[in-house]
Amino acid sequence: MRRALCLVAAVAFAGAALVGAAAVSEFTPVEVRAGDTLWSISQKYLKDPKAWDQILKHNKLPTSDPTVALPGMTLRVPTGLLKQEYQAAELIQSQREVMSRKKDSAAWDGAREGKLLYDGDGLRTMSKAFARVRFFGGALLTLEQDSMAILKSPKKSDYDLQLNRGSAVATFARVITPSARVTPKSNETKYKTQVMDDLSTRVQVYTGAADVADVKGLKKVEVHAGFYTDVPLDRMPSVPVKMPKGELAMQAPDVVEPGRPDTRIRQAGSPDVPGGEGLAATMKQLSVGLPVAAYNVQVSRDRQFGKILLDRTFDSYQTVDLRAAGLPNGRYWVRVAVVDLLGDKGRFSEPKPYVIGPQAEAESLAFQDLFDVTRPAQEATTVKAVAYRIMGRAAPSLKVLINGERVGRDEDGNFSVEVRLQKGANKFRIEASDVRGNNKTLYRTITLQAQQ
DSSP 8-state code for residue 437 = S
Q: Same domain, yes or no, for 156 and 32?
A: yes
Cut 0.75: pTM above it: no
Q: Same domain, yes or no, for 232 and 260?
A: no
Q: Same domain, yes or no, for 184 and 125?
A: no
- CATH code of the domain containing 425: 2.60.40.10
**Beta strands 227-231; 73-78: pairing state:** unpaired
Q: Same domain, yes or no, for 132 and 265?
A: no
Give the ranges where 288-373 is alpha helix by DSSP (H): 358-364
Looking at the chain, the number of H-run helices and the number of E-run strands are 5, 33
Q: Same domain, yes or no, for 359 and 375?
A: no
Could you tell me the sign of the dihedral formed by the alpha carbons of 168, 169, 171, 172, in that order? Answer: positive
Assess whether pLDDT exceeds 60 at residue 6.
no
Q: Same domain, yes or no, for 398 and 336?
A: no
Domain assignment present for 170:
no
Domain assignment present for 140:
yes
Q: How far is residue 52 CA from its own chain's centroid?
A: 42
Domain assignment present for 382:
yes
For residue 154, the model assigns a pLDDT of 57
Of 364, 384, 400, the last residue of a domain is: 364
Name the residue range of residue 260's domain: 255-364
Q: What is the pLDDT of residues 172-231, one digit of tens each?
A: 788 999 999 999 998 888 899 999 989 999 999 988 999 999 998 889 999 998 899 999
The β-bridge partners of 333 are: 300, 353
Residues in the chain: 452
Q: Same domain, yes or no, for 63 and 21?
A: yes
Q: Same domain, yes or no, for 330 and 391?
A: no
Q: Up-side HSE of residue 348: CA atoms within 13 Å toward CB?
A: 16
Domain assignment present for 50:
yes
**Beta strands 380-383; 439-448: pairing state:** parallel
120's torsion region: left (phi>0), alpha (psi -120 to 50) or beta? left
Domain assignment present for 249:
no
Closest CA to 344 of 19, 109, 11: 19
Q: Same domain, yes or no, for 98 and 29?
A: yes
C-alpha to C-alpha distance for 188 and 184, rounded to whole angstroms: 9
C-alpha to C-alpha distance for 86 and 32, rounded to whole angstroms: 13
- CATH code of the domain containing 326: 2.60.40
Of 188, 211, 243, the last residue of a domain is: 243
Assess whether pLDDT exceeds 70 at residue 142.
yes
C-alpha to C-alpha distance for 100 and 95, rounded to whole angstroms: 14
**Beta strands 161-170; 175-176: pairing state:** parallel
Highest-confidence segment of 114-123, 311-320, 354-363: 114-123
Domain assignment present for 248:
no
Instruction: Give the count of domains, the chain.
Output: 4
Q: Same domain, yes or no, for 149 and 189?
A: no
* Higher-scoring residue by pLDDT: 129, 238: 238
Find all residues with CB under 8 Å of 284, minimum gap 6, and list them: 249, 252, 267
Assess whether pLDDT exceeds 80 at residue 19.
no
Assess whether pLDDT exceeds 80 at residue 278.
no
Mean pLDDT value of segment 57-73: 81
C-alpha to C-alpha distance for 270 and 283, rounded to whole angstroms: 11
Of 311, 333, 364, the last residue of a domain is: 364
Domain assignment present for 349:
yes
Q: Same domain, yes or no, for 18 and 58?
A: yes
Find all residues with CB under 8 Å of 351, minimum gap 6, and list them: 300, 303, 305, 333, 334, 335
pLDDT above 90 coverage of the chain, percent:
22
- Window from 22-26, 43-47, 147-151, 354-358 with minimum mean pLDDT: 22-26
How many CB atoms sit inside 10 A of residue 302's CB? Answer: 10
The β-bridge partners of 337 are: 296
Could you tell me the sign of the dihedral formed by the alpha carbons of 158, 160, 162, 167, in that order? Answer: negative
Domain assignment present for 61:
yes
The β-bridge partners of 431 are: 401, 441
Could you tell me the sign of the dihedral formed by the alpha carbons of 93, 144, 291, 241, in that order? Answer: positive
Q: Same domain, yes or no, for 15 and 93?
A: yes
Could you tell me the sign of the dihedral formed by the alpha carbons of 144, 147, 151, 157, in that order? Answer: negative
Q: Up-side HSE of residue 13: CA atoms within 13 Å toward CB?
A: 33
For residue 420, the model assigns a pLDDT of 92
C-alpha to C-alpha distance for 159 and 214, rounded to whole angstroms: 14
Mean pLDDT value of segment 329-352: 80
Closest CA to 357 of 261, 254, 265: 261
